[in-house]
Amino acid sequence: MRVAVVGGGVVGLACALELLRAGHEVTLLVRNEKEAASRVAGGMLAPFSEGLTDELLEFSVESLGLWREFLETVKELSNRSVFFSKGILRVAKDERELDELKKLRSYYLKRFCSSAELAEGEELGKLYPKLSEKLAGGVFYEEEGNVDTEELTEALFTAFLRLGGELRREGALRVNRDGERVLSVKTHSGKLEADYFVFAAGAWTKELFDVPVFPVKGQIARAELPPDGPPFVVYARDAYLIPREKDLLLGATTERAGFDARPTVKGASALTGNALSVLPALEEAEFYELRVGFRPGTPDGKPVFYFGENFALVSGHYRNGILHAPLTARLVFLLIERREVSPYFQKFSPYRFRRT
């Protein structure tokens, strides 16, 4: 079958790869691969540190379970290395926050994770001595992790091309539909026809479909990773620090500012100030740059999934697109290959926003 995938972020790429591996002819439509949120994303696989609950937690934990295999497959198919680190330390700044973390930890341990080491007060220093002494404590979630998203997107593109996928570098302007059937996608150079269409257009989804997906600006800073920098991701309520091979990411702002792509002084000040309150020793690290990305937000922070006769729409992954990519690709594969409709299409249906 000829399948067209619209969107060159990790979700679109993961779908495209899964369909190529199933033997389909896949064309990937990418307006500008540099603008995808995936490139700027911190790459945390963090359902617990993000404090997720209900069906969003279930979806996220299920996808986390697919992640190691997904990564191995991408590395093997691309023959590229992709940096991955295991474990995230979720810290609390005061006793009240620590109590909340403890409650969530007990809830997660009942059903969703098997390892969540609690460190109170001075015990935190045993996990990583450079942390601020003012922190009240934290929980180390061993099953969480972090992936270098620039390396991941490069590897996904490489794997896609190596498996014979066709990459078209142009934007989708409009979806030509006859009810629940997509006829074609209008592009800058003409139109794209296919037997099946997958739309993974992230924050730009609203340009193609009438669903409440909107951009949530995130500024993230890149700095030098000091020799005694954190050995794992440290996640506080207003800052996260992500050590990678080549740098340290300090994330991230959450702003409703449309597609304003300007890094701001306020953003830089918030990111560095918050990061220093967690790790004071960072003060002398070299500051590299500030990056801006657009998360695909929704009114309730949960994804938006929809399908018609010959198309699927997967969007609204908000803060967790990297984490959600393997399961999203799996659901699209099952829908196309086996006509299996995952219950998540119902749970994350856009119709939920029309109920009063």
Which residues sit at the interface with ligand GLY, rule CB under 6 A? 42, 44, 218, 251-252, 295, 319
- Minimum CB separation of residue 309 from ligand GLY in Å reads 33
**Quick one: angle between helices 54-78 and 149-162, nearest 10?**
60
- Minimum CB separation of residue 97 from ligand GLY in Å reads 18
Q: Which is nearer to ligand GLY, 42 or 138 (CB)?
A: 42
Task: Give the count of beta carbons closer than 10 Å to the beta carbon of residue 23.
Answer: 9
Q: Token digits for 159?
A: 């794997």
- Residue 36: which of 261, 251, 245 has the closest Cα? 261
Q: Which is nearer to ligand GLY, 31 or 319 (CB)?
A: 319
Main-chain dihedrals φ then ψ at residue 128, nearest 5 degrees: -160, 105
Task: Give the count of beta carbons closer than 10 Å to the beta carbon of residue 164.
Answer: 9
Rounded CA separation 278/131 (Å): 6
- Residue 181: which of 311, 305, 333 has the closest Cα? 311
- Minimum CB separation of residue 18 from ligand GLY in Å reads 23
- Minimum CB separation of residue 288 from ligand GLY in Å reads 18
Q: Which is nearer to ligand GLY, 128 or 294 (CB)?
A: 294
- Minimum CB separation of residue 282 from ligand GLY in Å reads 18
- Residue 29: which of 143, 215, 169, 133 has the closest Cα? 169
- Minimum CB separation of residue 47 from ligand GLY in Å reads 10
Q: Which residues contact 30 (CB under 8 A, 6 or more apart)?
A: 7, 8, 12, 167, 168, 169, 170
Rounded CA separation 300/130 (Å): 36
The CA dihedral of 312, 315, 321, 322, to the nearest 10 degrees, is 30
- Minimum CB separation of residue 169 from ligand GLY in Å reads 26
Give the Å distances, CA to CA, from 247 to 147, 165, 213, 243, 314: 13, 32, 31, 6, 31
Closest residue to bound ligand GLY by CB: 319
Q: Which is nearer to ligand GLY, 90 or 319 (CB)?
A: 319
Q: Which is nearer to ligand GLY, 86 or 186 (CB)?
A: 86
Q: Which is nearer to ligand GLY, 39 or 295 (CB)?
A: 295
Helix (H, G, I), strand (E, B) or coil at 304: strand
- Minimum CB separation of residue 252 from ligand GLY in Å reads 4
Q: Which is nearer to ligand GLY, 226 or 301 (CB)?
A: 301
Q: Which is nearer to ligand GLY, 19 or 325 (CB)?
A: 325
Note whether 27 and 4 are within 8 A (CB).
yes
Rounded CA separation 146/86 (Å): 7
